[in-house]
């Protein structure tokens, strides 16, 4: 497709979970999007406050999670650029790839409150429409955004975070039904998030 209305869902996706997928699907339905592109972030230069799983693992989990939806796709722009990801770079690169597309950047209530402090936020707003989605535990009203800059959308509440998923795996608790089945299996296959502990088995 040449032009089209394209959603852009950026995230660390460490791992991708059903909260991400429901948010993308809901916005696609409400805004009549032709496609939603999931964009896993690049690998941080140095250790930040925690270790982030390798970019290729996060990329593959995102591919696995989105593969069955014909309107979902995954872009490598942030991973291939490397280093910390700035939304202005993501949008600029996607716009080069799809000059005729109308971009809709989808972001959760937690990230919304920081949006004005983003690098080149004004230029971001000129490259894409911004859509803020609700997220359990984070109040949209607290974002203090200037009027007309961001459309706010209520999505079915799924109180799931990647942090919680990682902590569950580390404790040997299940993540079935929080993340897609293929992602559960990929996490196990690659021994992600175990922090050196062998997986706990039933009865241990
Ligand atoms: P972490 O706990 O590692 O920060 P996360 O669950 O917040 O992970 P991210 O990859 O940081 O996931 O989020 C990517 C985008 O998805 C952000 O805009 C975030 O606000 C949004 N998002 C994440 N989880 C949900 C959810 N359960 N409902 C709605 N939006 C969500
Ligand atoms: Mg987050």
132 CB less than 6 Å from ligand 1?
no
Q: Which CATH class is domain 5-158?
A: alpha beta
C-alpha 66/C-alpha 37 separation (Å) is 10
Distance 165 CA to ligand 2 centre (A): 12
Q: What is the ipTM of this complex?
A: 0.99
Mutate to test the pocket of ligand 1, among 9, 13, 17, 19 (most ligand atoms within 8 A of CB): 19
Mutate to test the pocket of ligand 1, among 28, 161, 170, 179 (most ligand atoms within 8 A of CB): 161
User: 29-65 pLDDT, tens per residue?
Assistant: 999 999 999 999 998 765 566 789 999 999 999 999 9
User: 121-139 pLDDT, tens per residue?
Assistant: 999 999 999 999 999 999 8
**Distance linking the first and last C-alpha atoms of the chain:** 53
Strand order in the sheet with 102-108: 72-74, 35-40, 5-11, 102-108, 128-133, 150-153
Q: Are 28 and 37 in contact (CB under 8 A)?
A: no
Q: How confident is the model at residue 203 (pLDDT cuts 50, 70, 90)?
A: very low
The tokens for 190 are 């690659």
The residue ranges of every structural domain in the chain are 5-158
User: 59-92 pLDDT, tens per residue?
Assistant: 999 999 999 999 999 999 999 998 889 999 999 9
Enter the pTM of the model: 0.93
Rounded alpha-carbon distances, angstroms, from residue 65 to 82, 142, 203: 22, 31, 30
Residue 142 confidence (pLDDT): 65
- How many residues belong to the chain? 204
Q: Are 124 and 47 in contact (CB under 8 A)?
A: no
Candidates 70, 46, 69, 43; CA nearest to 55 is: 43
User: Cis before residue 188, ω within 30 degrees of 0?
Assistant: no
């Amino acid at each position: 497709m040449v032009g089209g209305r394209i959603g852009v869902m950026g995230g660390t996706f460490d791992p991708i979970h059903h909260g991400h997928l429901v948010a993308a699907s809901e916005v696609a339905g409400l805004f009549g999007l032709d496609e939603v592109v999931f964009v896993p972030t690049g690998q941080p230069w140095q250790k930040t406050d925690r270790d982030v799983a390798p970019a290729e693992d996060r990329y593959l989990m995102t591919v696995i999670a989105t593969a069955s939806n014909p309107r979902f796709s995954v872009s490598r722009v942030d991973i291939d650029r490397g280093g910390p990801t700035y939304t202005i770079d993501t949008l600029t690169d996607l716009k080069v790839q799809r000059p005729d597309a109308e971009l809709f950047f989808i972001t959760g209530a937690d990230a919304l409150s920081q949006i004005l402090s983003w690098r080149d936020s004004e230029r971001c707003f000129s490259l894409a429409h911004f859509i803020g989605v609700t997220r359990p535990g984070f109040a949209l009203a607290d974002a203090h955004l200037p009027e007309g800059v961001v459309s706010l959308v209520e999505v079915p509440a799924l109180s799931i975070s990647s942090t919680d998923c990682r902590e569950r795996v580390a404790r040997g608790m299940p993540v079935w039904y929080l993340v897609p089945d293929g992602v559960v299996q990929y996490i196990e296959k690659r021994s992600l998030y175990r922090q050196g502990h062998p997986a706990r088995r039933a009865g241990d």
